[in-house]
């Protein structure tokens, strides 16, 4: 193991340190994702219903592959300790309500997912990405409902969550503490958790950038 890796591993043992390292390691990808054309349109004051539809179809491409893959790699008891619930059923209900077909994740990205995320250690890093996206999702839905005005009342917000749903913040705090406990008690290599988080974030990012509607909008494929 390199000196940098030893330091990195040592630095992730203090409470909160692994979550801080996960945030730092994925920060550039988060910025790049927020800067995807589709995401910028989604957050813009002039957003319309079509953009929300495009977003739901686009996020479904990575989500339909990534979430089941991560959950299948984890023992049910691990998922229960982390307090992780599948979001795919809510996303599928939103898509059905809007009569939308999900975009498909390109085969190469699905293969990459299976190659890079192979066991529970890797899955823990991936779950950080999906749980964080749930936290950020509430910020997206709040901005969307403000910008869409009364038109938002007609839309399904099961996946992103709506004003009336409980805030995901306490779930996120629990997840952070439980993830660190899991990594430490389970003897998982923190460096592998960090690498898998980056790999899964890249797959979600590229899946969003490659989606049909993003391409139709002449999206540039970042990454
Ligand atoms: C328009 C798109 C997006 C916006 C505006 C956005 C915004 C945000 C915001 C505001 C937070 C912090 C929430 C809080 O602290 O209460 C957050 C956290 C996070 N988001 Fe996003 N997000 C977007 C897309 C995504 C996507 C697609 C993913 C997954 C691939 C993602 C992954 C995360 C993660 C992992 C965190 C937790 C960061 C941490 O460790 O604190 N986000 N996001």
pLDDT digits (tens, 9 = 90+) for 85-120: 999 999 999 999 999 988 889 999 999 999 999 999
What local confidence, expressed as pLDDT, does residue 58 receive? 96
DSSP-assigned letters across all residues of 196-220: HHHHHHHHHHHHHHHSHHHHHTT--
CA of 133 to the centre of ligand 1 (A): 5
Instruction: Please tell me if the CB atom of residue 34 comes closer than 6 angstroms to any atom of ligand 1.
Output: yes
**Contact in structure between 201 and 36 (CB atoms under 8 Å):** no
Name, in order, each residue with C-beta under 8 angstroms of 106's C-beta and a sequence gap of 6 or more.
207, 210
Q: Which of 136, 161, 199 to mutate to test the pocket of ligand 1 (most atoms within 8 A of CB)?
A: 136
**Contact in structure between 81 and 185 (CB atoms under 8 Å):** no
CA of 2 to the centre of ligand 1 (A): 31
Taking the model in full, what pTM does it have? 0.92
Which residue's CA is the nearest one to ligand 1's atom 12? 136
CA of 30 to the centre of ligand 1 (A): 7
Q: Quick one: 77 exposed, middle or buried, by C-beta within 10 A (0-12, 13-18, 19+)?
A: exposed
**Contact in structure between 6 and 187 (CB atoms under 8 Å):** no
Which residue's CA is the nearest one to ligand 1's atom 43? 136
pLDDT level of residue 164 (50, 70, 90 thresholds): confident
**CA-atom Rg of the chain in angstroms:** 17
Instruction: Measure the CA–CA gap between 137 and 134, rounded to whole angstroms.
Output: 5
Instruction: Measure the CA–CA gap between 78 and 175, rounded to whole angstroms.
Output: 11
**Contact in structure between 124 and 191 (CB atoms under 8 Å):** no
The dihedral of CA 205, 17, 161, 27: what is its sign? negative
Name, in order, each residue with C-beta under 8 angstroms of 148's C-beta and a sequence gap of 6 or more.
47, 48, 49, 52, 155
CA distances from 134 to 6, 108, 171, 220 (A): 31, 25, 10, 25
Instruction: Please tell me if the CB atom of residue 129 comes closer than 6 angstroms to any atom of ligand 1.
Output: yes
**Contact in structure between 53 and 214 (CB atoms under 8 Å):** no
First-to-last alpha carbon distance for the chain, in angstroms, is 28
Where does residue 83 fall: left (phi above 0), alpha (psi -120 to 50 degrees), or beta otherwise?
A: left
What's the CATH fold of domain 16-216?
Heme Oxygenase; Chain A (1.20.910)
pLDDT digits (tens, 9 = 90+) for 75-88: 999 999 999 999 99
CA of 41 to the centre of ligand 1 (A): 16
pLDDT digits (tens, 9 = 90+) for 23-53: 999 999 999 999 999 999 999 999 999 999 9
What local confidence, expressed as pLDDT, does residue 209 receive? 86
Q: How many CB atoms lie within 10 A of CB 65?
A: 20
In ligand 1, the atom with minimum distance to the C-alpha of 208 is: 27
What local confidence, expressed as pLDDT, does residue 3 receive? 45
């Amino acid at each position: 193991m390199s000196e940098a890796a030893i330091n990195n591993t040592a630095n992730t043992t203090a409470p909160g340190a692994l979550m801080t390292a996960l945030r730092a390691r994925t920060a550039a990808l988060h910025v790049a994702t927020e800067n995807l054309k589709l995401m910028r349109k989604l957050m813009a004051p002039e957003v319309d219903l079509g953009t929300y539809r495009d977003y739901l179809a686009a996020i479904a491409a990575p989500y339909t592959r990534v979430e089941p893959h991560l959950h299948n790699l984890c023992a049910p008891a691990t998922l229960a300790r982390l307090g992780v619930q599948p979001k795919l059923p809510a996303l599928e209900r939103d898509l059905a309500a809007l009569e939308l077909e999900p975009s498909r994740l390109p085969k190469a990205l699905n293969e990459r997912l299976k190659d890079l995320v192979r066991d529970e250690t890797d899955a823990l890093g991936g779950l950080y990405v999906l749980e964080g996206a749930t936290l950020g999702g509430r910020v997206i839905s709040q901005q969307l409902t403000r910008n869409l005005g009364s038109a938002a009342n007609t839309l399904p917000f099961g996946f992103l969550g709506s004003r009336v749903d409980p805030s995901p913040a306490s779930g996120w705090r629990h997840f952070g503490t439980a993830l660190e406990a899991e990594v430490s008690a389970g003897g998982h290599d923190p460096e592998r958790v960090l690498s898998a988080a980056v790999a899964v974030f890249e797959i979600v990012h590229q899946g969003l950038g490659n989606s049909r509607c993003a391409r139709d909008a002449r999206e540039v494929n970042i990454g």
